[in-house]
Amino acid sequence: TMGNWLVNHWFSAAVLAAWLGINIFLFTYYFLFFDRDERYFYTRAILGSALAWARASAKCLNFNSMLILLPVCRNLLSFLRGTCSCCRRTLRKQLDHNLAFHKLVAYTLALLTAVHTIAHLFNLERYNQSQQATDGSLPAVLSKMHLQGSNKWLNPIHSNQTTVEYVAFTTIPGLTGVIITLALILMVTSSTEFIRRNYFELFWYTHHLFLVYFAGLVIHGIAGLVRGQTEQSMAEVPPHHCAEYLPQRDQNCTHECCKDPEFGSIPAESWKWVLAPIILYVFERLLRVWRAQQKVIVTKVVMHPARVLELQMHKKGFSMEVGQYIFVNCPAISPLEWHPFTLTSAPEEDFFSIHIRAAGDWTERLIDTFQLETPRIEVDGPFGTASEDVFQYEVAMLVGAGIGVTPFASILKSIWYKFQQADQTLKTKKIYFYWLCRDTGAFAWFNDLLASLEQKMAESGKADFLTYRLFLTGWDNSIANNVALHFDTAVDTVTGLRHKTIFGRPMWNVEFAAVAAAHPRSVVGVFLCGPEALAKSLQKSCHQHSSMDPRKVKFYFNKENF
């Protein structure tokens, strides 16, 4: 299984290994540097090893803050997918893991923030203790250095009345540290699957605290509270030699260590790490604004059962591939909110369409608005995801759960057109389509497409090209009785289609084994738009049923990501 995973995800594995390697290197290198370097000899006399913990975690925080924006530059990823169109599909497919990588970097930032904050709390406590100490020890003497001159100080706390809380809320590093930590906590907690699915607006607005995070990060190190001995001072009074004399010098001192050591701040450098990604992200946002300004004409509005709204639109220069998605904004509802929707039209059609299900405040308001009037709509996209690779596989297994069927509406329509036009570029020889749905109403809008497709395939002698199974996962007694009454009819009682609806959930091992047996030498693409639990189950089946023999059946897993 591990071997199969590495074959399918070698690029992801390489990126992860490089990312982890750089993090480990940065942390180890800077930990040892601040723990051993002569410049910080006196700083360590006050702070101990907490200095190294704070500085090493800071370096890793800078590195990961540099990376966090890159996976969410949609236009950059689309550009990379385009330039990669001649690459192997395994490489293009890895770009779909952008959000998984974004989350990984975010959780790493949260962990490093905790390490950095705890280390600095220890540092502040030690600075405070050294300032208040009167025992003539080296930390106590170093803490009184500010009395000798402006650039002599090493301990930023110059008063016995200062508390850790006072430093945290009145100094630039303290205050920005508190603000960016709060921003990070809010962003991480509001981006859970549950909140994104049910309260998208909450997720959307709190995520824009990233502006506060980056502003705070850039300012955070400006005050330079953590200091080290200057190069010139180290040459004049080397610390390993002179430190022992510092607590016991008198006024008539004559030896070489009589001069006071001098200290300088570590220059702020977070901005060097994050400047390039911020500029890239600004360009990304400007491009989105420019694209959004282009006029969108809504050519047709269809209200389907179960509160599903279909919008057919036209936009000059709009060019799509199957299974891509767009971001939609309706200024009348909210000028700032953009929501992702998978395109349900085929590239061969002269319009593009989306199906919007009522799920949350924004979609409810959009559906209500369209029932009264046709408001102005702005569109950004399209953006590419895994589904556009579907025609590259000889055999494709398409799995859609509920409204997650949308990318496959586009694919099935496109196949229908390719058959009509007798397209020679179609590599696909067989499609297995599985739709899992909780209630019958949600099937209604998709019925016409399947019925016309079924008819078209039969007319062109390709009836066996598409095998589909509809699984009804939530059903009541009235449906069961209706099914029992009409069991011998030619068409299904739930959907009116020739292929019967199956009640319950699919047994994936049985389905995969059947596909493997029917296509023993094929490369099978498995495409899912559905929940994470289903993704894990399908991924497991892909690994279990793929042969290690390169000449035999292989299952490649693809998942839709927004």
Note the pLDDT tens digit of each residue in 154-182: 998 888 888 878 888 888 999 999 999 99
Site of tokens 């590259």: 392
End-to-end CA distance of the chain: 27
pLDDT, one tens digit per residue, over 93-120 is 677 788 889 999 999 999 999 999 999 9
Site of tokens 């540290």: 177
Mean residue pLDDT of the chain comes to 85
Residue 124: per-residue pLDDT: 93
User: Is residue 8 domain-resident?
Assistant: no
Mean pLDDT of 68-88: 78
In this structure, the answer to whether residues 147 and 234 fall within a common structural domain is yes
Task: Tell me, yes or no, whether 180 lies in a domain.
Answer: no
pLDDT higher than 90, residue 479: no
What's the residue count for the chain?
562
| Domain limit, last residue, from 364, 383, 402 | 383
Note whether residue 136 is domain-resident: yes
Rounded-to-integer distance, Cα 341 and Cα 287, Å: 19
C-beta of residue 145 within 8 angstroms of C-beta of residue 153: yes
pLDDT band, residue 3 (cuts 50/70/90): low
Cα torsion through 388, 389, 390, 395, rounded to 10: 180
What pLDDT is attached to residue 91? 67
Instruction: For residues 48 and 129, state if they share a domain.
Output: yes
Answer yes or no: are the C-beta atoms of 322 and 407 closer than 8 Å.
yes
pLDDT tens for each residue of 422-473 = 777 777 888 898 988 876 565 667 766 777 787 877 887 777 888 888 888 8
Is the pLDDT confidence value at 85 over 70? no
Secondary structure of 384-420 in the HEC alphabet?
CCHHHHHHHCCEEEEEEEHHHHHHHHHHHHHHHHHHH
pLDDT at 487: 42
Judge whether 67 lies within some domain: yes
pLDDT of residue 490: 44
| pLDDT higher than 50, residue 483 | no
In a domain, 3, yes or no: no
> How confident is residue 481, by pLDDT bands cut at 50, 70 and 90?
very low
Domain that holds residue 317: 294-383
- Report which listed range, 145-149, 278-282, 332-336, is most confident: 278-282
Q: Are residues 524 and 440 in the same domain?
A: yes
Percent of the chain residues topping a pLDDT of 90: 42
Residues 406 and 353 in one domain: no
Split into its structural domains, the chain has a count of 3
Tell me what pLDDT residue 436 has.
Answer: 87
Indicate whether 17 belongs to any domain: no
524-546 pLDDT, tens digit per residue, is 999 888 888 898 899 999 988 98
Same domain membership, residue 74 and residue 92: yes
Q: What is the pLDDT of residue 39?
A: 94
548 pLDDT tier (thresholds 50, 70, 90): confident
Q: In this predicted model, which residue has the larger pLDDT, 515 or 405?
A: 515
Q: Is the pLDDT of residue 228 over 90?
A: yes
């061969």: which residue's tokens? Answer: 348
d(Cα 546, Cα 521) in Å, to the nearest integer? 10
pLDDT at 442: 58
Of 167, 163, 51, 181, which Cα lies nearest the Cα of 111? 181
Average pLDDT over residues 237-261: 82
Q: Indicate the residue type of 12.
A: S
Which residues does 531 contact at the CB level (< 8 Å), separation at least 6? Answer: 401
More reliable by pLDDT, 20 or 544: 20
Candidate ranges 281-290, 378-387, 451-460; pick with highest mean pLDDT: 281-290
Whichever domain contains 312, its CATH number is: 2.40.30.10
Question: Do 304 and 398 sit in the same domain of this protein?
Answer: no
- Residue 341: closest CA among 372, 306, 375, 367: 367
Q: In terms of domains, do 330 and 350 share one?
A: yes
Residues 468, 356: one domain? no
pLDDT confidence of 188, banded at 50, 70, 90?
very high
**Residue 434 is part of a domain; what is its CATH number?**
3.40.50.80
| Same-domain status, 437 and 542 | yes
Residue 26: predicted pLDDT: 98
Q: How confident is the model at residue 213 (pLDDT cuts 50, 70, 90)?
A: very high
What's the pLDDT score for residue 92?
67
- Quick check: 403 pLDDT over 90? no
Model confidence at 5: pLDDT above 80 = no
Query: Is residue 217 a part of any domain in this protein?
Result: no
Q: What is the pLDDT of residues 293-344, one digit of tens each?
A: 899 999 999 998 778 899 999 999 898 888 788 999 999 998 888 888 989 8
Asked if residue 382 has a cis previous peptide bond (ω within 30° of 0), the answer is yes
Given this model, what pLDDT does residue 500 score? 60
Whether 437 and 531 map to the same domain: the answer is: yes
This prediction has a pTM of: 0.80
Same domain, 424 and 442: yes
Q: Which of 383, 405, 423 is the last residue of a domain?
A: 383
**Is residue 195, in this structure, part of any structural domain at all?**
no
Q: pLDDT at position 8, please?
A: 57
pLDDT tens digits along 26-68: 999 999 999 999 999 999 999 999 999 999 999 999 999 999 9
Structure tokens at 328: 């939609």
Residue 522 in contact with residue 491, Cβ under 8 Å?
A: no
Residues 143, 240 within the same domain:
yes
Q: 491 pLDDT exceeds 80?
A: no
